[in-house]
Amino acid sequence: MQRFGLDVLRHVAGGSAACAEACAEAGAATAIVAAIRAHPDEGLQAKGCAALLAVAAGSAACNQVVTAAGGEAAAAESAAANPTHAVIQRCAADLVALRARASLAADVAMEALLLEEAAEKGGSGSGGRQSKASRKRESQRLRKAAAAHERELPALVEAAVDGAQMEAPAEEVRAAAAELRVLGDPEPTEHTETAQVAEMPTVTAPTAAALGLPSMMDDTSTLGGGTTCSICFMGTKSHVAVPCGHQFACGDCAGVLMKKGELCPMCRGVISVFIQVHVC
């Protein structure tokens, strides 16, 4: 569920600098960092890193908030844990670059301020006047440079986030879409007719990647790294489809699939029957 919230924050923060600042003020950075650290799932971590980047891109102040919340460190940890995930790697690197650029802009602005103060205190006489004018020119140049750095921040990160999205594997996108369809179903309740309609599990199952299968595993396996039902994410993945042999559903969801005569969501094969598996 958290990944969808992270997605909302990423899109909202990307709306404008003011939006990113509003997100930063709302405590988005700490919430995103907590989500990244709490969930090892690489899909969620990628969304979290992208959201952090979107918030940090708002302004130098936003960047400071993200850094103070441990955003850069969390992204670095995520990048270390997922060395092959392009989006995470890109976001972690861009967060570092963004912080370095913001720091440079702050340094330049501070230097300009010091020069201005020195110019104000400059000596009298022609030599003093020349020195004062020279310092003022240098100060103006530095201020322009600092402003240019500030202006470059959002553009840099916008390009980075876009690039990261472009590089997202097609399989990941499909998996996310499948999960969205599954999780978008309203919660089953026992109160009203409408609630019962809302809670009907969708027949669209997530792909193997949505189940968090490690890349080194056999692609045909549907047990993978989790035993939770791939349809509702609530029951145990206790039923195996015959004849294809894919094990992806709990008893309730298997019953719904059979009733509707759906194909196996993993291989699109016809399902004759589901068999409950008892692992000893």
Residues that bind another protein (CB under 8 A): 1-9, 11-16, 18-19, 22-23, 25-28, 31-32, 34-35, 38-39, 41, 44, 180-181, 183-187, 189, 191-192, 194-195, 197-200, 202, 228, 233-234
Minimum distance of another protein from residue 186's CB (angstroms): 4
CB 207, min distance to another protein, A: 16
| C-alpha distances out from residue 218 to 56, 214, 215, 242, Å | 38, 9, 8, 19
Residue 57 CA to residue 63 CA, distance in Å, equals 7
Nearest residue (CB) to another protein, 41 versus 252: 41
Q: Which of 45, 47, 67 is nearest to 57 (CA)?
A: 67
Nearer to another protein, 121 or 259 (CB): 259
Nearest CA among 209, 176, 158, 125 for reference residue 53: 158
CB of 4 to another protein, least distance (A): 4
> By C-beta, is 24 or 79 nearer to another protein?
24
Nearer to another protein, 8 or 80 (CB): 8
Least separation in angstroms between residue 83's CB and another protein is: 22
Q: Are 239 and 220 in contact (CB under 8 A)?
A: no
Distance from C-alpha of 24 to C-alpha of 35, rounded to nearest angstrom: 15
Residue 199's alpha-carbon distances to 141, 188, 189, 205, in angstroms, are 63, 4, 7, 15
| Residue number with CB closer to another protein (127 or 184) | 184
Write down the least CB distance from residue 149 to another protein, Å. 23
- Are 142 and 112 in contact by the 8 Å Cβ rule? The answer is yes
